[in-house]
Amino acid sequence: MNAQPYVAPTIRRVSQTTANPQRLGRVPVMDMIDGVPVARLIAEHGSPLFVFSESNLREKIRAARLAFEAVYPDVTFAWSYKTNYLNAICRVFHQEGSIAEVVSGFEYEKARHNGIPGHDIIFNGPWKSVESLRRAVAEGAMIQVDNRDEIVALARLAEEFQVPIEVGIRVHVDTGTHAVWSKFGFNADDGEALRMMAWTRENTRLKIRGIHCHVGTFMLDSGAYATAAKAVVELALAAEAAGGGLVEYLNLGGGFASHARLHGQYLPPEQATPSFDDYAGAICSTIKQLWPAASKLPKLYLETGRALVDEAGYLVSSVVAVKQRRMHDATAALAAYGKGGVATATVSSRRNAVVLDAGINILYTTAWYQPSIYPAGTSPAMTAAGMQPTTVYGCLCMNIDVIREEAALPVLKAGDAVVMHPVGAYNITQSMQFIAYRPAVVMIDPERRVHLIRRREVLEDVQGPEHMPDYLASTRQSTAAGGRLDP
């Protein structure tokens, strides 16, 4: 009997798109954004290019407000600056009635620059410099204290100004849905927050007017907010029973999920992402149910960020090169063996790959989410070949610069444009100048006019803050060291 050579068993990830490329049907194309041809956007503003839809921003904040205002008498949205602090974006939210939520002195300055008065700024964050706290106190901002050291710093300012300072206290709670964000604020579950409220009342001139709880981000389970709302109401009632007054406001933070798709997320966003009505129901019905009937309902603040801005943002990019990516593939190894070849795990197959002119330095969120990628046009060749599993590389000289390990795309060639979506949340604020300049950003208004809201970077933007020590002013090699002289 012929002994069969041993082939080690392997587990091979089944590609979603290899089984039957045609099953995905027509090549989905995005050749327009808000009625403006992508080709025109590239011709006028270059590639890559971030594009924001003003209509989408306004639709989202109006829908969120409507959902909450329908079920709660006193609710205010605060635009979370860190989610996207391009001034034009912030202004749209402010025009729609949102106040500002900031987490640093820098963001505070930005909100003031955008015309927001101190009393309409919610000042969060685990570190606020004494200078920024002094300004916030002087301007009547809603400071949400994060830790005991901050309470002590504010208590000193209250002595200095000889005034009581009104603050909110930030807490974290275990909602049972994800790891607790215990970095921020005091624990509301084990009595720490209650003790801190009593200590503050007894030892400082601070007046705790509100309770703040931001449970986390991209919360796909709206039930987490019911748990958090219950915890903050119970804390408010316990603090009142302990001798403090009833707080005037509750702040349930942000964290509502956008229609992005997490790596490994099984359900599509249309099914997985709760609606604003779901979140509003979870939060407002809990507060209304538990708040004492004889007392006025507390004011409700919300700081939702990504759910309002993610879908409004697109990244237009161009294919600069196509490649065949070598995949180590156990199936190919077995197939070779079946044809009388040598069974070896090093036999490889190939997968289409493209290199784009944008990299992960401007798509930071691809670490957690998979943007959809659409060709910005179609051709008979594309349609004929159907969809292929394709690796999408970024343009950086870094092996980790992979935008999508595997996206279903038609066969693309250098020069073809693609559109990535949704990318409006956190990418602008977290994008870094690294290897390549950061691209321009435009916003399309409801009349389809295209406005430049941030120009593409140039060398001076990057090296402007640099300083050259005198002794390095010349590029000539020192004669002491010998060697070639450059002019």
Which residues of this protein are in contact with ligand PLP, per CB under 6 A?
80, 83, 101, 124, 214, 217, 253-256, 303-307
Residue 99 to residue 77: CA distance in whole angstroms: 6
The total number of residues shown for the chain amounts to 487
Burial of 83 (C-beta count, 10 Å sphere; 0-12/13-18/19+): buried
Q: Which is nearer to ligand PLP, 47 or 124 (CB)?
A: 124
Q: Which residues contact 107 (CB under 8 A, 6 or more apart)?
A: 81, 82, 85
CB of 172 to ligand PLP, least distance (A): 11
Q: Which is nearer to ligand PLP, 215 or 396 (CB)?
A: 215
CB of 129 to ligand PLP, least distance (A): 18
Q: Which is nearer to ligand PLP, 212 or 404 (CB)?
A: 212
Q: Which is nearer to ligand PLP, 359 or 424 (CB)?
A: 424
Q: Which is nearer to ligand PLP, 3 or 179 (CB)?
A: 179
In this structure, the number of other CB atoms found within 10 A of the CB of residue 205 comes to 16
Which tokens hold the place of 148? 């005991």
Q: Which residues contact 356 (CB under 8 A, 6 or more apart)?
A: 48, 317, 318, 319, 320, 392, 393, 394, 395, 403, 418
Residue 405 to residue 151: CA distance in whole angstroms: 47
Computed over its alpha carbons, how large is the radius of gyration of the chain?
A: 27
Long-range contacts of 43-46 (CB under 8 A, 24+ apart): 44/450, 45/440, 45/442, 45/450, 45/452, 45/456, 46/439, 46/440, 46/456
Pairing of strands 49-53, 372-375: unpaired
Q: Which residues contact 478 (CB under 8 A, 6 or more apart)?
A: none
Which tokens hold the place of 70? 């329908």
CB of 143 to ligand PLP, least distance (A): 13
Residue 141 to residue 320: CA distance in whole angstroms: 48
Asked if 121 and 98 touch (Cβ cutoff 8 Å), the reply is no
Q: Which is nearer to ligand PLP, 101 or 329 (CB)?
A: 101
Strand ranges in 146-217 using DSSP code E only, listed in sequence order: 165-172, 186-187, 206-212
Asked if 370 and 422 touch (Cβ cutoff 8 Å), the reply is no
CB of 108 to ligand PLP, least distance (A): 14
CB of 122 to ligand PLP, least distance (A): 8
CB of 100 to ligand PLP, least distance (A): 11
Q: Which is nearer to ligand PLP, 305 or 394 (CB)?
A: 305
CB of 429 to ligand PLP, least distance (A): 10
Asked if 319 and 330 touch (Cβ cutoff 8 Å), the reply is no
Q: Which is nearer to ligand PLP, 214 or 438 (CB)?
A: 214
Q: Which is nearer to ligand PLP, 78 or 236 (CB)?
A: 78
CB of 309 to ligand PLP, least distance (A): 8
CA 29 to chain centre: 25
Q: Which is nearer to ligand PLP, 77 or 374 (CB)?
A: 77
CB of 80 to ligand PLP, least distance (A): 4
Q: Which is nearer to ligand PLP, 185 or 386 (CB)?
A: 185
CB of 87 to ligand PLP, least distance (A): 18
CB of 185 to ligand PLP, least distance (A): 9
Q: Which is nearer to ligand PLP, 37 or 97 (CB)?
A: 97
Which tokens hold the place of 405? 């390990």
CB of 478 to ligand PLP, least distance (A): 50
What is the DSSP-derived secondary structure letter of residue 439? P
Pairing of strands 372-375, 440-444: unpaired
In this structure, the number of other CB atoms found within 10 A of the CB of residue 472 comes to 7
Residue 81 to residue 457: CA distance in whole angstroms: 21
